[in-house]
A = this chain, B = another copy of it.
Amino acid sequence: MAGGVACGVRGSGTPDLGLLFSGRPCAAAAVFTRNEFKGAPLGVTREAVAGGGLRAVVVNSGNANAATGRRGVEDAYAMQGAAAQALGVEAGRVAVASTGVIGEHLPMDNILAGIGDAAGRLSGDGAPFAEAILTTDTRTKEAAVRVEVGGRSVTVGGTVKGSGMIHPNMGTMLAFLTTDAAVEPECLQETLSRATEHSFNRVTVDGDTSPSDMALLLANGAAGNEPLTAGSPDYPAFVGAVEAVARELSKEIARDGEGATRLVEVAVEGAEDEETAAALAKSVVGSSLVKSAVFGEDANWGRVLTAMGYAGVPFDPDGLELWFGPVKVFEGAPVPHEVAEANAALASGEVRISARLDAGDASATAWGCDLSYEYVRINGSYRT
Contact = CB atoms under 8 A, between A and B. Distances in A.
Contacts of A71: 333
Contacts of A211: 305-306, 309
Contact of A298 (B66, B300, B384): B384
A288 B206 contact: yes
Interface in A151-198: 164-165, 167, 170
Given A288-B208, A292-B375, A306 B380 contact: no
Contact of A303 (B34, B102, B289): B102
Contact of A34 (B101, B206, B310, B317): B310
For this chain, the copies found in one complex come to: 2
A79 to B, nearest CB: 19
**Size bracket of the A interface:** 35 or more
A232 interface: no
A85 interface: no
A209 B312 CA distance: 11
Given A305-B211, A381-B298, A315 B36 contact: yes
A362 interface: no
Given A67-B333, A70-B333, A382 B293 contact: yes
Contacts of A363: none
Contacts of A36: 308-311, 313-315, 317
Contacts of A101: 300, 302
B102 A307 contact: no
A225 interface: no
Contacts of A381: 296, 298
Name the 6 nearest CB pairs between A and B, nearest first. A296-B380, A102-B302, A69-B333, A37-B309, A292-B379, A35-B309
Given A103-B329, A208-B306, 20 more contacts: A35-B306, A36-B314, A36-B317, A38-B309, A66-B302, A67-B334, A69-B332, A70-B333, A101-B300, A102-B300, A102-B302, A103-B334, A165-B306, A206-B289, A207-B286, A209-B306, A293-B380, A300-B382, A300-B383, A373-B376
29 contacts: A36-B308, A36-B311, A36-B315, A36-B317, A37-B308, A67-B330, A68-B333, A69-B334, A70-B333, A101-B300, A101-B302, A102-B303, A165-B289, A206-B289, A208-B289, A209-B309, A209-B310, A288-B379, A289-B379, A292-B376, A293-B380, A295-B376, A298-B381, A300-B382, A300-B383, A371-B379, A372-B376, A373-B376, A376-B376
